[in-house]
Amino acid sequence: MSDLKELSFAKVATVTGIDAKSVATTELYVVPAGKTFIPIMVVIRVTAFTSGGKTVQAIASFGGNAATYDDFLNSVTYTVANVDYFQMDRPADATAVPVQAAADSFRLSIETGSNATTETWAVDVFGYLI
């Protein structure tokens, strides 16, 4: 019997504890051997937030291209003002979606960190395998 992730799109990964204040890359999902991953969307969930007079929003990219990790979503500004904030994000309709090969690392790259006192994200990755 086929795995559900091959019959429909599903949540393939959740990574918690991401500090949206820090410029860094975070591995979200590694494509299994013998498979190809088609990413569909990401959901950002804010799990901890303290404004502290925040004036700078986090800017982030997602993808599997090792240099910049921005071939799925490129330099998106995520405006966060409270905890329990959820944002679904995906490429615009009719936009080519990158295909991730076996062993590719699908990552989040925070390019500009938020200047909130505290801003912590959990990221869910949705897609399917072929």
Q: Which helix (H) or strand (E) holds 6?
A: helix 4-7
First-last CA distance in the chain? 14
DSSP 31: P
Residues ≥6 apart with Cβ < 8 Å to 2: none
Of 27, 15, 26, 2, nearest in space to 128 by CA: 2
Find the domain containing 102 and state its range: 4-129
In this prediction, residue 113 carries a pLDDT of 98
In this prediction, residue 6 carries a pLDDT of 64
In this prediction, residue 95 carries a pLDDT of 84
Looking up residue 94, the CATH number of its domain turns out to be: 2.60.120
Q: How many domains does the chain have?
A: 1
In this prediction, residue 37 carries a pLDDT of 95
In this prediction, residue 2 carries a pLDDT of 59
Parts of the chain with a pLDDT under 50: 1
